[in-house]
Amino acid sequence: MTLGNAAIRQSQEDKWLAENQAAIAAHNERVAESGPLLIPDWADDKCVFVACCATDTILL
């Protein structure tokens, strides 16, 4: 990626974050209060990653 493209990408990212700051904050608040809407199969009930091995279960 050229320096010009990197600067354009960073500018677009900054603009997107500024435009969506309120929505991101509202989402983060809802997740903090209620938890995620979906819990992935690879997580336990508290959304902690659980890796299973042949002999052990490792909580990450």
Each domain of the chain, given as residue ranges in start order, spans 3-59
pLDDT on residue 37: 86
Q: Which residue is associated with the tokens 């997740």?
A: 31
For the segment 12-29, the average pLDDT, to the nearest whole number, is 96
Q: Which pLDDT value is given to residue 43?
A: 75
Q: How many other CB atoms are there within 10 angstroms of residue 33's CB atom? A: 7
Are 19 and 12 in contact by the 8 Å Cβ rule? The answer is no
Which pLDDT score, from 0 to 100, does residue 40 have? 79
Q: Any idea what the Cα angle at residue 42 is, between residues 38 and 53, rounded to 5°?
A: 170
Each residue of 25-58: pLDDT tens digit?
999 999 999 988 888 777 776 666 656 555 555 4
